[in-house]
Structure 1
Amino acid sequence: MNQAEASNWQTYRRLLKYVKPFWIAFSLAVVGNIIYAAASTGMAASMEYVIEAIENPSAQNRIMLTGLIVGVFAFRGVGTFMGQYFIAYVGRHVVNALRKQVFDRLLALPSRYFDNHASGRLVSKLTFNVEQVADATTSAVTILLREGLTIVGLLIFMVYTNWKLTLVFVAIGPLIGLVVSYASKRFRKISRRIQSSMGDVTHVSSESITGYRVVRTFGGEEYERERFADVADRTMKQGLKMASTQAIATPVVQVLVAFAIAALVWVMLSPEIRGTMTTGELVAFITAAATMAKPIRQVTSVHSKIQKGVAAAHDVFGTMDEEPERDDGQYAPERVQGEIRFDDVRFRYQDNLDDVLHHINLNIPAGQSVALVGRSGSGKSTMVSLLPRFYEYYQGRILIDGHPITEFSLSALRAQIALVTQNVVLFNDTIAANIAYGSLRDRSREEIVEAARKAHAMEFIERMPEGLDTMVGDNGVMLSGGQRQRLAIARALLKDAPILILDEATSALDTESERHIQEALEVVMEGRTTLVIAHRLSTIEKADRILVMESGQIVEDGDHRQLLEAGGAYAQLHQMQFSEGE
């Protein structure tokens, strides 16, 4: 067994573990398929009695024959239902379990994983790839069990009737095996390509749909059409390759089976082979051999589904095996004071890239408001991203109240931090549900209203058709930038965390809204350790302390007046913005 086959077998075995909890339903499916196979074998065997009844048309034979026909078909119908329904029951439960586990793992994966994987591809794993696994665990298994057992039943009947003739028929088996082996390898290779191209289809379409305004404003329709047509054509070509392989493999197998039946008929007419077989037995034998053509064809064609499923399972299990965020801390205080210390911290996004932060040393007393300023790319957002452990630094320590943040459990650490960014994320839910999101779900209506009022959001919420119960649309599309920002601030206010991170929190606001929000932020910042990243220096002049960053280092530290008097980097930034403002 080569490495690829060993890997496929491991994947099969891993999939079978998901079937284990539903062994009763699976057993019923097997029983159903045994009934179907027995009925199909019985149909071939009954040909002997049909010939006898035709040769001896007595009243008894007429009753027996009509009863036999109805009985066999009814028996097969019961088997078909049991086989199909119970295997589908198992398959849908397996898919449901896989889908939930993949989603759970995605929720636990580190930020780096999402930086390196397009969201469309990840959605494709949850939808298309998992559905391919369903095909392998439902219809493919049904066909394998049903038709495989039918082949076994017919072979047993043929051996029992005349073993010499059966050997002639079975001699063609190795050739069928070769055709199936070649086809399955090709199916597996094409399936991987189809999965990749389907991921591209989801990725390109989700990007175009999400960014439809940019697409239309900048005349990108033609470019997006070409981009989508390219990935759609690629998926179609792979699908056609799969179809052509299946279309060639199936008739080749049928022709081989036809050769076997022809050889059988030729040998049958030889008296020494035929022996003492009656006409009825001969017809039954030929019927059994001919009946076997369909199940053999179906079993060979099912390989495409199984290979698609295995390729998809490889991909799905690959995501499930990704390392989750490291969460081995045990410390879980109810509420921290909020003293933050960076102790010689260095960070890079990937091992082969340069450091983004160099030897950051910083002590922030509890309750102090600290503004981070500097040119784009100076490391401000990266620095605050380390605090909730969205990324892991590789040297130094970050401490809250003297405890390294790695000692905290992730949930306990993040419970101490409220975050407002310039890219506000809202969910397609009510305004109230967006403010009281996640762990805030159990907050009272009064608390939600109070948070919204402090964030100056009630002004526009009260004008909404259903107030707090108004749906905001996909990512808050029904709201303006300023309104979205105020909801994000209301969410942070409701959380009432001791540490507050404001990453360009007022960037999307007009001057009047900004003035309101600035007042609200001053209220919410009281008694909290606040890290503010701001592009507009006018918004952070009242901060207790301002840090100026350049190339991943802190180059200046002081309050607004001190830094202006020093005439350094901050004074230059202030002068530039002041000049632009005039």
Structure 2
Amino acid sequence: MISKLRFLLKYAHQYRWWYTGGILFMALTIGVSVTIPEYIQKSIDLIGQGREGNENAFYNYVLMILVLALVLILVRTMSRILFFIPGRLIEKQLKGEMFRKLTSFGKEYFDKNSSGSIISRINNDINGVRMITGFGLMQIGNVIFSLSVTPYKMWNMSPVLTLYCVLPLIVVFVIVRVGMAVMVKNTRRRMDSLQNLSGKTVSFLSGNGVIKSYNIHKWAEEKVDEENVSLFDFTMNIARVRSFVLPLLANLEQILKIVVLFAGGMFVINGTFTIGQLAEFIAYAALLSHPIMGLGWVLTVFQQGFVGITSLQTIMDKKGVDDDKPALEPSKVNTLFKQGVSVRNLSYRYHNGDEEVLKNISFDIKPGQVVGITGKLGCGKTTLVNCLNGYLKPEKNSVFFNGHDAALLRGQDIRKVVKTVSQEVFLFSDTIENNITFGSGDLPDNEKVDKVIYKSALADEIERFPGQERTMVGEKGIMLSGGQKQRISLARALYTKSDLLILDDVFSAVDTDTERFLIKHIFENRTNETILVVSNRISVLEKADFIIVLEDGEMVAKGTHKELMKKSSYYRETSELQDNKE
């Protein structure tokens, strides 16, 4: 509980002056609210005395009620604005911090948490914090002021009648409190179920093509239906409690009015109360019912919000892979690739693996070189690449950039000098132009965009698109072919200059003519100082200064194209096989 309150205080403290203003207007709201019944009492008693000589006083009382009502509208609106805006600002801040925190995590975290559950946390759990810091804090102020001023006014009028009002309030509050506890329990389960449903939905939508290919629609529907029914059950449990609790809260004011009308009516008959005083007391009873209703909602909001905070803290309190590493000075970052990359006895095991996928690999990449990597499927090519570009963290004293140990460098510092075009191409649901310029940090340079589009062998195809560079590519580039997506991803890497460009199997989805065009403009007309290309196409690898052959995570051969044709059976057989196909 203490950690959750500290979490809230950390964000709420930034807007303390907003809340201070909200509290002042809240106090004015309660002050005006309890003043109006006094003028109602005077007006009604004045009516009972007859018209003669009382007209002016009556008009003044009604005018005062009207003015106070207008003031009440103003101060109540201001109090809500001053409480609700910080809640929205905190929601905005939290979503930004959550995104930054999530981007700092490594592969291990995303292996254990699905995208759907993460999205659900960002949307639902942060909404709980917004409700606490907005509506919740406002209702706390409302309850405190109302339950201190209104009962005082009522007690001064009649202690006995006040006690008559308190008894049903206590009974209703206990019932509501029990109902709220059941609601919170089911809300927690509903949130877990919603995260599971979101995860499955995102997963199945992303793999829709696979589901169609294997004709397993029924299986997918049943899996989604299981989570959907679970979510429905918990939602219905909440709805059942609400259907009992909410009417009870909504009619609390009417219950109090009946109690006051019956007991207070006897006071009027006995001459203890006037009709005006009875009307005043009824007005106070109505004012008293609202904070009790608010108190029930406050408890619910805080309990639901605390469930969300617990979920958020599991993310916010988790350290990112680079949180403990200091940032390099800009001057050092600019010279990070001055001497190239040195790999010394690199071995790597995944967090959930039992065996090493890379074993004792050593080589150097000097500035200006073109280096190739090849090998059978699953031999560790992509793992090796990801150890060089900072996506995976190698052991200490394994990878060095200009004398700096990569294990001690932040991934974002490494990626300022290393750009990667991966085999898992990702495009945003945006225009081709924005996908190409993504990450550059500058406004699009049309001339530069046209140049990288040409070098990526996309110019002719883009000319045929309806909006050309401004054509929307759809979710994950669904409107484009695999080869087009790969070349747009390549254009993105070429648009922003880097010291080392890594091409991880980017030629797999292009035809031979396109491959030759790309080789000419990327390798021969050098756009990047150093290139590391991962491929099994010999026509690509023969342009490299040296080639590394991997097998079962080990470097079994290294040399130029001519040298490997002599000493590597795998390389030679691959070359002969591709020559025969041509």
Under TM normalisation by the shorter chain, which class is it?
Answer: 0.7 to 0.9
Task: Give the drift of 1:421.
Answer: 1.7
Q: Distance in 2 between matches of 1:421 and 1:441?
A: 23
Is it true that 1:83 corresponds to 2:76 in the alignment? no
In structure 1, the residue matched to 2:306 is 310
Q: Distance in 1 between matches of 2:490 and 2:339?
A: 19
Residues 345, 362 of structure 2: 8 Å contact kept: yes
In structure 1, the residue matched to 2:379 is 378
In structure 1, the residue matched to 2:448 is 447
Q: Distance in 2 between matches of 1:577 and 1:539?
A: 12
Is it true that 1:535 corresponds to 2:536 in the alignment? yes
Q: SS of the counterpart of 1:292?
A: helix
Task: Give the drift of 1:393.
Answer: 1.9
Task: Give the drift of 1:458.
Answer: 2.2
Question: Quick check: 493-502 or 58-67, which moved more?
Answer: 58-67
Q: Distance in 2 between matches of 1:308 and 1:124?
A: 15
In structure 1, the residue matched to 2:69 is 73
| Counterpart among 269, 281, 298 of residue 285 in structure 1 | 281
Residues 486, 517 of structure 1: 8 Å contact kept: no
Q: Deviations over 1:378-428 (max 9, x none)?
A: 221111101121111235420123332245554442121121122222233
Q: SS of the counterpart of 2:356?
A: coil
Question: Quick check: 384-393 or 36-45, which moved more?
Answer: 36-45
Residues 40, 65 of structure 2: 8 Å contact kept: no
Q: Deviations over 1:284-325 (max 9, x none)?
A: 335533542343134213433332223223323432332123
Is it true that 1:501 corresponds to 2:497 in the alignment? no
Q: Distance in 2 between matches of 1:201 and 1:108?
A: 25
| Counterpart among 301, 326, 329 of residue 328 in structure 1 | 326
Alpha-carbon distance change, 43 to 78 in structure 1, aligned in 2, over 3 angstroms: same
Q: Deviations over 1:553-575 (max 9, x none)?
A: 22232334433433544445556
Residues 385, 391 of structure 1: 8 Å contact kept: yes
In structure 2, the residue matched to 1:100 is 96
Q: Distance in 2 between matches of 1:244 and 1:164?
A: 36
Alpha-carbon distance change, 528 to 299 in structure 1, aligned in 2, over 3 angstroms: same
Question: Quick check: 543-552 or 382-391, which moved more?
Answer: 543-552
In structure 2, the residue matched to 1:10 is 3
Q: Distance in 1 between matches of 2:432 and 2:248?
A: 62
Task: Give the drift of 1:507.
Answer: 1.0
Q: SS of the counterpart of 1:363?
A: strand
Alpha-carbon distance change, 349 to 191 in structure 1, aligned in 2, over 3 angstroms: farther
> What letter matches 1:334 in structure 2?
N
| Counterpart among 156, 170, 175 of residue 152 in structure 2 | 156
Q: SS of the counterpart of 1:438?
A: coil
| Counterpart among 53, 66, 75 of residue 46 in structure 2 | 53
Residues 121, 199 of structure 1: 8 Å contact kept: yes
> What letter matches 1:199 in structure 2?
Q
Is it true that 1:138 corresponds to 2:131 in the alignment? no
> What letter matches 1:119 in structure 2?
S
Task: Give the drift of 1:504.
Answer: 0.8
Alpha-carbon distance change, 245 to 568 in structure 1, aligned in 2, over 3 angstroms: same
In structure 1, the residue matched to 2:423 is 422
Q: Distance in 2 between matches of 1:282 and 1:462?
A: 82
Residues 433, 441 of structure 1: 8 Å contact kept: no
In structure 1, the residue matched to 2:34 is 41
Task: Give the drift of 1:133.
Answer: 2.7
Alpha-carbon distance change, 257 to 491 in structure 1, aligned in 2, over 3 angstroms: closer
Question: Quick check: 15-24 or 511-520, which moved more?
Answer: 15-24
Task: Give the drift of 1:208.
Answer: 4.2
Q: SS of the counterpart of 2:334?
A: coil
Residues 436, 443 of structure 1: 8 Å contact kept: yes
In structure 1, the residue matched to 2:24 is 31
Alpha-carbon distance change, 10 to 46 in structure 1, aligned in 2, over 3 angstroms: farther
Task: Give the drift of 1:98.
Answer: 1.4
Alpha-carbon distance change, 241 to 567 in structure 1, aligned in 2, over 3 angstroms: same
RMSD, aligned CA: 3.6
In structure 1, the residue matched to 2:232 is 236
Residues 38, 150 of structure 1: 8 Å contact kept: no
Q: Distance in 2 between matches of 1:266 and 1:442?
A: 74
Q: Deviations over 1:198-237 (max 9, x none)?
A: 3334333334444444444544544444443333333232
Q: Distance in 2 between matches of 1:134 and 1:526?
A: 49
Q: Distance in 1 between matches of 2:454 and 2:256?
A: 83
In structure 1, the residue matched to 2:493 is 492
> What letter matches 1:25 in structure 2?
W
Question: Quick check: 137-146 or 234-243, which moved more?
Answer: 137-146
Is it true that 1:203 corresponds to 2:199 in the alignment? yes
Alpha-carbon distance change, 434 to 578 in structure 1, aligned in 2, over 3 angstroms: same
Alpha-carbon distance change, 267 to 390 in structure 1, aligned in 2, over 3 angstroms: same
Question: Quick check: 292-301 or 40-49, which moved more?
Answer: 40-49
Residues 387, 393 of structure 2: 8 Å contact kept: yes
Task: Give the drift of 1:81.
Answer: 1.6
Task: Give the drift of 1:82.
Answer: 1.8
Residues 537, 574 of structure 1: 8 Å contact kept: yes
Q: Distance in 2 between matches of 1:301 and 1:95?
A: 20
Alpha-carbon distance change, 256 to 483 in structure 1, aligned in 2, over 3 angstroms: closer
Q: SS of the counterpart of 2:147?
A: helix
Task: Give the drift of 1:168.
Answer: 5.7
Q: Deviations over 1:66-89 (max 9, x none)?
A: 335424432332233223333222
> What letter matches 1:566 in structure 2?
K
Q: Distance in 2 between matches of 1:297 and 1:42?
A: 21
Residues 548, 554 of structure 1: 8 Å contact kept: yes
Q: Distance in 1 between matches of 2:528 and 2:69?
A: 80
Alpha-carbon distance change, 22 to 124 in structure 1, aligned in 2, over 3 angstroms: same
Q: Distance in 1 between matches of 2:333 and 2:85?
A: 45
- Normalising by the residue count of structure 1, what TM-score does the alignment of the two structures yield? 0.85
In structure 2, the residue matched to 1:63 is 59
| Counterpart among 119, 122, 128 of residue 126 in structure 1 | 122
Q: Distance in 2 between matches of 1:352 and 1:381?
A: 16
> What letter matches 2:310 in structure 1?
H
Q: SS of the counterpart of 1:203?
A: helix
Alpha-carbon distance change, 353 to 284 in structure 1, aligned in 2, over 3 angstroms: farther
Q: SS of the counterpart of 2:558?
A: strand
Task: Give the drift of 1:342.
Answer: 1.6
Q: SS of the counterpart of 1:189?
A: helix
Q: Distance in 2 between matches of 1:126 and 1:468?
A: 33
Residues 44, 291 of structure 1: 8 Å contact kept: no
In structure 2, the residue matched to 1:20 is 13
Alpha-carbon distance change, 276 to 443 in structure 1, aligned in 2, over 3 angstroms: closer
Q: Deviations over 1:82-116 (max 9, x none)?
A: 23333222222121121222222223333433333
Q: SS of the counterpart of 1:502?
A: strand
Alpha-carbon distance change, 282 to 118 in structure 1, aligned in 2, over 3 angstroms: same
> What letter matches 1:26 in structure 2?
Y
Alpha-carbon distance change, 486 to 280 in structure 1, aligned in 2, over 3 angstroms: closer
Question: Quick check: 386-395 or 162-171, which moved more?
Answer: 162-171
> What letter matches 2:556 in structure 1?
V
Q: SS of the counterpart of 2:362?
A: strand
Residues 128, 198 of structure 1: 8 Å contact kept: no
Residues 482, 513 of structure 1: 8 Å contact kept: no
Number of aligned residues: 572
Q: Distance in 1 between matches of 2:289 and 2:445?
A: 68
Is it true that 1:389 corresponds to 2:382 in the alignment? no
Question: Quick check: 367-376 or 502-511, which moved more?
Answer: 367-376
In structure 2, the residue matched to 1:3 is none
Alpha-carbon distance change, 572 to 510 in structure 1, aligned in 2, over 3 angstroms: closer
Residues 440, 494 of structure 1: 8 Å contact kept: no
Task: Give the drift of 1:503.
Answer: 0.7
Task: Give the drift of 1:537.
Answer: 4.2
Residues 366, 529 of structure 1: 8 Å contact kept: yes
